[in-house]
Amino acid sequence: MMGYDHVQRLREKSARLVVGLMSGTSADGVTAAVSMITGTGVDAEVRLITYRTYPYPAAVRERLFTLFKDGASGLSETSELNMLVGHLFADAANGIIGEAGLDPREIDLVGSHGQTVWHQPMLKEAAGHLYRSTKQIGEPAVIAARTRLPVVADFRKADIAAGGEGAPLTPYLDYVLHRSSKAHRVLQNIGGIANLTYLPAGCGIGDVVAFDTGPGNMIIDAAAKRYAGLSQDVDGELARSGEPNKALLEELLMHPYYDRKPPKSTGREVFGEQYAIEVFNRADAQGLSPVDVVATVTELTVESIARAYEGHLPGPIDEAYISGGGSRNTYLVERLRHRLGTSVHDYSLLGYPSEAKEALLMALLANEHIMGTPCNVPASTGADRRAVLGYLTLP
């Protein structure tokens, strides 16, 4: 049995081999990455060895989407899926270790985000307390038992306990790996939800601005499924053949989330299935064609990102780097480049594949937990202090 003296041995190593595991808002599957990490904090260096996404079985994904509906599933289903998803995360960890040609005994650590099933960043009050909540499933004890490796997981809660929203987490990686002494950069992720990190030239961690801009692929995917029976609008072909409806677009942009000042985060609790149904009902009532609906919700993603830059960033932008599933939607990227009027590049130009970024983040956060290094970004989450994120589970 592994003891806590193992943690001290990990701290003393000059480099650590870490597996990062991530499943995002779109819940497509588990992305696993193996990386070599040296140092900690601003001196950390991350070298990607290999990565892969392991899709969820269709039946599991269907159960997850049922769980995403507030009040639709009971405690028993949440409990069952927590354990089942833990096994799928363990499968991904063991699979990527094998694909890297490594012996599991060479791996030092696993960092797992789990699968977010609910995220409530707005303050609520009860029993004399103000609180926020978030829930990720994918039981770390299962991952630790199946891999026989220490697992650090559940990274959001310590930031929430420190008064933050528990999101976004990505700004820490963006700051450590991608800050520039000369260029004002935006790192724009377009997943199910779109989020950005703004790194002013020569910034310190207190200067980082990061927040969720609103829907990314989530409503586009839902429209592609509803109107064309597709899981996504590949290359934006549906949107490209349609015409955005300006009246509906402006109506959608009146959602109060867009005017909220950062720090702010969001997810399916705001822009999930129920919101998509409301959008489609409005579009159908106006007689929009299927491709015009897809074009309109694609433009919603573009315009909400652009207005976030214009309304919430404190300085100029020299260059933007796009990651996430939306980076593969060529029409979406074309529209964003046109709307922003600035240099827009694929994230891979910074030296890492877009698809691996969030799994690498989980590996880095796990490394920082072991090293005792705070890795939330209070300026972005609203926390009142820096915090070491995650919980350690030993096999």
**What is the per-residue pLDDT across 198-217, written as a single tens digit (0 to 9) for each?**
999 999 999 999 999 999 99
Q: Give the N- to C-terminal CA distance of the chain in Å, as an integer.
A: 7
Integer Cα distance of 272 and 252 in angstroms: 14
Query: For 214-269, what is each residue's pLDDT tens digit?
Result: 999 999 999 999 999 999 999 999 999 999 999 999 999 999 999 999 999 998 88
User: Does position 71 have pLDDT exceeding 60, yes or no?
Assistant: no
- Asked if 334 and 198 sit in the same domain, the reply is yes
User: Does position 49 have pLDDT exceeding 60, yes or no?
Assistant: yes
pLDDT at 3 (0 to 100):
73
Q: How many residues does the chain have?
A: 395
- Asked if 377 and 332 sit in the same domain, the reply is no
Mean pLDDT of the chain: 95
Q: What is the pTM of this model?
A: 0.93
pLDDT at 224 (0 to 100):
96
Crossing angle of helices 357-371 and 171-178, rounded to 10°: 90
- Asked if 147 and 242 sit in the same domain, the reply is no
pLDDT at 118 (0 to 100):
87
Cα separations (Å) of 152 from 9, 47, 111, 131?
16, 19, 5, 24
Q: Which residues pair with 348 in a beta bridge?
A: none
Cα separations (Å) of 146 from 55, 104, 116, 150, 298?
19, 11, 21, 11, 41
CA 73 to chain centre: 24
- Asked if 304 and 338 sit in the same domain, the reply is yes
- Asked if 344 and 358 sit in the same domain, the reply is no
- Asked if 147 and 191 sit in the same domain, the reply is no
- Asked if 76 and 189 sit in the same domain, the reply is no
- Asked if 92 and 12 sit in the same domain, the reply is yes
Number of domains in the chain: 2
Q: What is the mean pLDDT of residues 368-373?
A: 97
In the chain, % of residues over pLDDT 70: 99
30 in Cβ contact with 136 (< 8 Å): no
CATH number at residue 244: 3.30.420.40
113 in Cβ contact with 93 (< 8 Å): no
Q: What is the mean pLDDT of residues 156-173?
A: 96
Q: What is the mean pLDDT of residues 43-50?
A: 98
Crossing angle of helices 75-99 and 58-67, rounded to 10°: 140
| Residue numbers of the domain that contains 262 | 171-350
- Asked if 163 and 182 sit in the same domain, the reply is no
User: Does position 126 have pLDDT exceeding 90, yes or no?
Assistant: yes
330 in Cβ contact with 235 (< 8 Å): yes
- Asked if 116 and 191 sit in the same domain, the reply is no
User: Does position 72 have pLDDT exceeding 80, yes or no?
Assistant: no
Mean pLDDT is lowest, of 25-39, 65-79, 131-145, 221-235, for 65-79
Give the number of other CB atoms < 10 A from CB of residue 181: 7
User: Does position 284 have pLDDT exceeding 70, yes or no?
Assistant: yes
Diameter over CA atoms, the chain = 66
- Asked if 175 and 314 sit in the same domain, the reply is yes
What single-letter amino acid sits at 141?
Answer: A
pLDDT at 1 (0 to 100):
65
Cα separations (Å) of 329 from 198, 219, 221, 322, 336?
22, 14, 11, 11, 11
Q: In terms of DSSP bridges, do strands 193-199 and 29-38 run parallel, antiparallel, or are they unpaired? A: unpaired
User: Does position 70 have pLDDT exceeding 80, yes or no?
Assistant: no
User: Does position 4 have pLDDT exceeding 80, yes or no?
Assistant: no
- Asked if 380 and 283 sit in the same domain, the reply is no
> What sign has the CA pseudo-torsion 87, 93, 98, 104?
negative
Torsion from C-alpha of 192, 194, 195, 198, nearest 10 degrees: 150
